[in-house]
Amino acid sequence: MPKLYQIPAFADRPLEATPNTIGTQGEFSQGAIEVAQRTFSIVKPDAVRKGFAGAILAEIDRAGFQIVAIKKQSISKQQAKGFYAVHAGKPFFDGLTAFMSSGPLVLMVLEKENAIADLRKLMGATNPASAEEGTLRKRFAGSMTENAIHGSDGEDTAAFEIGYWFAGYELI
């Protein structure tokens, strides 16, 4: 089910017809638009190094995702630690954050109905050895660490991750 975001009732009317209801329920009572769900994704440094970024983007496009925002950059270990803070203290944390800061990556905000679950499906299992045939990790990942692509795993994490890497004005 796509989320419904209500738009101000006066959005399609001339300004002078706008009721003075700012801050009250009335302002939001007349209109609603459907918007697709957003998720956050990274083409990880291994895939960029191996020249797979274009092929991965093509698959994402073919699967029906819109690219809302995209940028290629290198990140510091400190930035990687903040991004993967949920894994802090785990035995693989140091290796994971060292890898993520080892070279340029591609950061993206993607949009589509059911984007979060559908991207995870397209990615395949964390360990490429157990990823399903045809998934991005099966095709492009080399190992549990060098696993080609990241995708948010829930609505809360998607919101955090989009805000961690992109400013509001970049999401148009």
Catalytic-role residue among 69, 128, 150, 161 = 150
Catalytic-residue membership of 150: yes
Task: Say which entry of ligand ATP, Mg ion, none residue 159 contacts (CB below 5 to 8 A, set by partner kind).
Answer: none
* Amino acid symbol at 89: G
Report d(CA 12, CA 22) in Å as an integer: 16
Selected from 39, 107, 140, 150, the binder of ligand ATP by CB under 6 A is 150
The distance of closest approach from Cβ of residue 76 to ligand ATP in the complex, given in angstroms and rounded to an integer, is: 17
Cβ-based nearer residue to Mg ion, 5 or 92: 92
The string of DSSP codes covering 39-106 is EEEEE-HHHHHTT-HHHHHHHHHHTT-EEEEEEEE---HHHHHHHTGGGTTSTTHHHHHHHHTSS-EE
Report d(CA 89, CA 164) in Å as an integer: 20
Q: Which stretch binds Mg ion (CB under 5 A): 18-26, 61-69, 73-81, 148-156?
A: 148-156
Asked if 153 is part of the footprint of ligand ATP (rule: CB under 6 A), the reply reads yes
Asked if 97 is part of the footprint of ligand ATP (rule: CB under 6 A), the reply reads no
Report d(CA 8, CA 21) in Å as an integer: 10
Q: Catalytic residue positions?
A: 150
Residues that bind ligand ATP (CB under 6 A): 87, 92, 96, 126, 144-145, 147, 150-151, 153
